A and B are shown apart, each in its own frame.
Chain A
């Protein structure tokens, strides 16, 4: 993940990569189910909590700077902002799952409808849905591979050779990363099953379990999922260290506040929706559960709303102000054609404020 810069909140190329993970994984999951290694169970669909939680979650991941998994691996990369987001995320998911907010959360989650899976609702074989999904994903992938700028893309000068270069330096393409993750996500099912935890990949449950363990000392809650998230953390640490990308990075004041607020909101909303980006949008979608797809859709809506509010909106406003200031100042400040290389004194408008 660290090497592929895996991030769900990124953009449409990543969204395609994400859909690859779902499609490949659903083939694996239903095959495993068919041969009897695992058995997919279904329960009633808590639509209200899912819609609400997923929208809030989409909102929260923009605030926190990444989704739950992203927070884990960025924390391993030593971004202090992600440490804060992670701590508050785990804390608030424990509060919402087993703490003071648990009654509210389970109350909202008790509002259900009987239908639970997409194929069950439509009355068709899941394999039909898999075929449709796989072909759509195939077309999208081809579209993105075609418009890839390829050779024009600037790359960093290599410092390592051979295997070490491929593992630690070369940027992993998002589609390669997607295939690796899909393979891991499929593997996760029987592995987790073998330990008695009957589910696929998950992040929120284990995070809450860790907090419960620390607080109550009850070792029973340490399950496969807990080892998984600890694995993500150490894996990202090793990857970042090996790539020379490990350095404790302190966020600025705004980022700090956003990380804390985003992490806390992420914990509550993931518990409401019944999963984070991974548990719901990647794993529950692969088994074609209504909760997964509904959450996926509302997560994207929430992310879009927050992006407009916190990123593109303010950015457009600043650009407009900058343009107006430039017009007003005439040719004075940004005298064109000046041949000299300018010292740090000559900086663009927003630069001097930030460090």
Chain B
């Protein structure tokens, strides 16, 4: 199982989620994608996207003021 990191800091919605979709398409099953983002609206959009796709979220936390990280597993 590999862990891939996607940095989207500085991008506003919907670009983090667009990039996340592109990135996860390249992953192998079971791989995890760490998405670091600083767009506030993505705190709603990314977990919702994961839930709708049925991808488990293994980590979701703040890493500082207005900075977040979420880890989504491809299943």
- Chain A residues at the B interface, C-beta cutoff of 8 Å: 2, 5, 7, 10, 65-66, 74, 77-79, 81-82, 149, 152-157, 159, 171, 240, 244-247, 249-252, 255, 311-312, 315, 318-319, 322-323, 326, 334, 336-342, 344, 346-351, 354-355
Contact = CB atoms under 8 A, between A and B. Distances in A.
Contacts of A255: 10-12
Nearest to B54: A152
Interface of B: 1-15, 18-19, 21-23, 25-28, 33, 38, 40-41, 43-45, 47-48, 50-52, 57, 60-62, 64-68, 70
Contacts of A78: 66
Given A245-B65, A322-B26, A346 B1 contact: no
B5 A344 contact: yes
B62 to A, nearest CB: 6
B3 to A, nearest CB: 5
A77 B44 contact: no
Nearest to B42: A5
Which of A7, A247, A348 has the most CB atoms of chain B within a 10 A radius of its CB? A348
A149 B52 contact: yes
Given A77-B40, A154-B50, A156-B43, A341 B3 contact: yes
B68 to A, nearest CB: 8
Contacts of B22: 315, 318-319, 322, 350
Contacts of A337: 28
B47 A247 contact: no
21 contacts: A7-B41, A77-B66, A78-B66, A149-B52, A154-B57, A154-B70, A156-B61, A244-B62, A247-B38, A247-B65, A249-B38, A252-B11, A323-B25, A337-B28, A341-B2, A346-B4, A348-B6, A348-B27, A350-B22, A351-B5, A355-B10
Nearest to A153: B51
Given A346-B2, A348-B4, A326 B51 contact: no
Given A154-B51, A311-B18, A354 B2 contact: no
A315 B67 CA distance: 24
Nearest to A319: B22
Contacts of B57: 154
A242 to B, nearest CB: 12
Contacts of A350: 6, 19, 22-23
A154 B65 CA distance: 19
Nearest to A151: B51
Given A247-B67, A351-B23, 4 more contacts: A149-B52, A153-B48, A252-B10, A355-B7
Nearest to A7: B41
A315 B18 contact: yes
B66 A247 contact: yes
B66 A342 contact: no
Contacts of A153: 47-48, 51
Contacts of B3: 341-342
Contacts of A326: 26
A245 B26 CA distance: 31
A339 B11 contact: no
Nearest to B12: A65
A77 B66 CA distance: 9
B72 to A, nearest CB: 9
Contacts of B10: 249-252, 255, 354-355
